Each structure stands twice: as C-alpha cells, then as structure tokens.
Amino acid sequence: MENCIFCKIVAGEIPSPRLYEDEKMIVIRDIEPKAKLHYLCIPKTHFALFSEMDEGGAEIVKHCFQVIPALEKALGLEDGYRVIVNQGENGGQTVPHLHIHLLGGEKLADF
Ligand code: 5GP
Ligand code: ZN
C-alpha cells in the first residue's frame, strides 16, 4: 500500500530494527513509547481494521497472537503486559495499518 508508513517499514524502505520477524509479521519498538517497554506487532499484509479483514488477514492475526506469548521473555514482558489494537478515529488509530501494541516493563495505570 502506497504511503503507508508500516508497509514501508515492512518493506525495509524505512529502517526500523526488527526484534522479531517471520513470514507474516514483524515486531519493532514504538518510536514514541507510552510505557517503559512499548512494541508494535505489525502484520506484513496491509489492512487497517478488523472490519476489513478477510480469511487471510484473520490467519495472520491469529498467527500474531500465537507468536506474541512465545516472545514474552525475550521482550521483557514476562511480568505482564497490555495488548491494545486501536481501531479508527474514535479508537485513536493514527496509522491505518492494523498493528498490535504491547506495553509493559512496568506496572501500567488502570484504565
Ligand atoms: P496507533 O495510534 O495507530 O494505534 O499507533 C501508531 C503507533 O505507531 C504510535 O504509537 C506511534 O508512536 C507509532 N509510530 C508511528 N510512526 C512510527 C515509525 O516510523 N516507527 C515506529 N517504530 N513507530 C511509529
Ligand atoms: Zn500498510
């Protein structure tokens, strides 16, 4: 997808160190961390919203949620973390390429 910052990161057009990568997803650090540890799990396929997700997209999201637990220790999230997927304007989504926020490394505020 043209002009999508996360597609550009996935393609390597914008350099961003990958903490994990496989054929379906990457994990990078958020450029503006909202917690001591703040990662983004980004599917390599472009779609913005769960409501746009097809069967292939659903498989990728399932894969992300299967891989994330296996990465907890390596990412320093073994004491717990928060998973956030912002959707659309009211959800505060600023990058219209679906991504999973992983926040941790400290006790997070209640919400
Ligand atoms: P959203 O608000 O769409 O749920 O989250 C987008 C996130 O992407 C924000 O937390 C923002 O800090 C992060 N972000 C935006 N541009 C970049 C970038 O170029 N590199 C990285 N690593 N994170 C980015
Ligand atoms: Zn994209």
Near ion ligand 2, which residues have CB within 5 Å?
1, 4, 6-7, 46, 97
**Which pLDDT tens digit goes with each residue over 17-60?**
999 999 999 999 999 999 999 999 999 999 999 999 999 999 99
Atom of ligand 1 nearest to the CA of 96: 3
Segments making up each domain of the chain, as ranges: 5-104
Cα-based angle 89, 95, 101 (whole degrees, multiple of 5): 95
Assess whether the C-beta atom of 92 lies below 6 angstroms from ligand 1.
yes
Positions of E strands within 20-80: 20-21, 25-29, 37-43
In the predicted structure, residue 2 carries a pLDDT above the cut 90: no
In CATH, the number for domain 5-104 is 3.30.428.10
Over residues 83-107, the pLDDT tens digits come to 999 999 999 999 999 999 999 999 9
Tell me the pLDDT tens digit for each residue of 66-87: 999 999 999 999 999 999 999 9
E-state strands within the chain: 20-21, 25-29, 37-43, 81-84, 100-104
